[in-house]
Amino acid sequence: MTRDRRSTLALLAGSSAVQMSSNMVAALLAASVLGPHGRGLMVLGVSTAGIVPLLAGLGTGPQLRSAYPVVGGGARRRDLVASYTWWSVAATVSAAVLAVAVSALSAPLIAPALADPRYLLALSVLTCGYVAHTQLPDGWYAAGLFRSGSLWAMATTLGGGLGLLVAVTVAPSVWSLLLGQGAGMLTATTAQVVALRATGLLCFQTPTRRELSRLLGRGCRALGLTLGLALALRLDRYVLGALTGAAAVGVYSVASTLGQVPRMVPNAIGQLVNRDAAVASGPLRPVRTVAATAGVVTAVGAVTGLLGWLVVIPLLGPGFAAAGPLLVVLLVAEVAFVPYAVASRALLGAGRMGAVGAFGLAWSAAALALFLLAVQLWGTAGAAVACVAVYAGISASSWLLLTRRAAPRSARRRPGADRRRGPGGPRHTDSADPRPEPAGDARPRPSPLSRV
């Protein structure tokens, strides 16, 4: 691994760690102020705000990251960026409307408070913040500007945490905390939009219908993965809320938030794998990558589990005592999650949108059935055990999909091809010029998955 790559990986991991820490502190603070029931209502709002933007985005983020490095320069690249910019604007509005509709329709099933006008207003603001948090960093990552993307993603998360802290101080309630978090995220988003426009990664010119159709058409094929897997990973909250009530969701969410702390490692590595697959640069060694990542996740998880078990009751009170045992099970699930984090990013970066889309939809349906059965039988403990099964299943399936997609191409490769290309491939860091390259620089795209 080159020095630049180690530096980029350290920055991505650091940014992810800051975001995880901010989310963890915000979750514990909200739980201590709101109690299990109030925290459960807030978790349902945050989950809705996090999932709906994936549907509204229609997979355009993964498609931008896959297409941007290979479209060449000039008018074609500007048209791609303009299409992405305007669709992101449309997604912001549609996601807010959809989130409000989902919450209002869920109220009779889970809790009437989900349809409170103040709650719905706060949810719409928070959803707009999550759309920006989902769409805008992909612009930086598409251009290989991981440093800028990581710093802005971190700024958005910290802005949300600061807004939540202000709300806790001024008027602590479920809707005020959601509103404060959303307002803080949007404040950071405004500054990020200015920076993206200055760099040429946001463009408000009128896009051509052809490029917009291409972006949406190819992006939609990834929607099954981005949305389907988001549902698979968050359905436990909704099923718990429907079958056991908001208080159970509040307790479970504390364990889940702490349990996701080790995910900062595969999140960081997945960003690099995605870029490598998109530009076919650098050696992609999935077995070695997954083994090393799983080792780090295990170590971080052990420390997190010990500290979490010790601090939950002193910080939050006996009402959250059940979070300790749940945390141990959910940390095991994070280890099982590692192969998926690597394989799915490689597939998305390589543009295998259709295959991964079908994969995501299949697992969202399987996860719903599994969570319904497990929660009905064993409550919150069943949800945690089902998480282990779901994470292990999606990891095994995505790994099989990756290797099967790569095998035919690797069999046709000539010996020594990697050595002729060089071990490191072209570098993409913040020092790279993000301006469009001349059209003559475009070259036939090598097969990224042939290196698996």
Q: 71 versus 406: which is more confidently predicted? A: 71
CA–CA distance, 286 with 343 (Å, rounded to integer): 7
Contact 15, 151 (CB under 8 A): yes
pLDDT tens track for 297-331: 999 999 999 988 888 888 888 889 899 999 999 99
Asked if pLDDT for residue 150 goes beyond 80, the answer is: yes
The two tokens of residue 334 are: 């994070």
Contact 248, 317 (CB under 8 A): no
| Stretch 120-128: mean pLDDT | 97
**CB neighbour class for 396 (10 Å; exposed up to 12, middle 13-18, buried from 19):** middle
CB atoms near residue 86 (< 10 Å): 18
Percent of the chain surpassing pLDDT 70: 83
- CA 342, 286, 64, 211 dihedral sign is negative
Q: DSSP letters along 298-353, please?
A: HHHHHHHHHHHHHHHHHHH-GGGTTHHHHHHHHHHHHHHHHHHHHHHHHHHHTT-H
- Tokens 């409307």 label which residue? 97
pLDDT value, residue 332: 95
Q: What pLDDT band is residue 420 in, cutting at 50, 70 and 90?
A: very low
Percentages helix, strand, coil for the chain (3-state, rounded to 5) are 85, 0, 15
| Residues sharing a CB contact under 8 Å with residue 440, sequence separation 6 or more, in sequence order | none
CA–CA distance, 208 with 187 (Å, rounded to integer): 31
The pTM assigned to this predicted structure is 0.74
Angle at 244 between CA 242 and CA 249, to 5 degrees: 85
pLDDT tens track for 84-99: 999 999 999 999 999 9
Asked if pLDDT for residue 355 goes beyond 50, the answer is: yes
- CA distances, 258 to each of 83, 141, 246, 261 (Å): 38, 27, 19, 6
Q: DSSP letters along 190-211, please?
A: HHHHHHHHHHTS---SPPPHHH
Q: 433 versus 357: which is more confidently predicted? A: 357
Mean pLDDT is lowest, of 1-5, 117-121, 171-175, 181-185, for 1-5
CA–CA distance, 221 with 217 (Å, rounded to integer): 7
* Residue positions counted in the chain: 452
pLDDT tens track for 20-58: 778 888 888 888 899 899 999 999 999 999 889 988 998
* Average of per-residue pLDDT values in the chain: 82
CA–CA distance, 97 with 112 (Å, rounded to integer): 19
Domain ranges of the chain: 3-407
The two tokens of residue 380 are: 């919150």
Closest CA to 15 of 148, 186, 164: 148
pLDDT tens track for 160-217: 999 999 999 998 899 999 999 999 999 999 999 999 999 989 999 898 889 999 999 8
pLDDT value, residue 75: 86
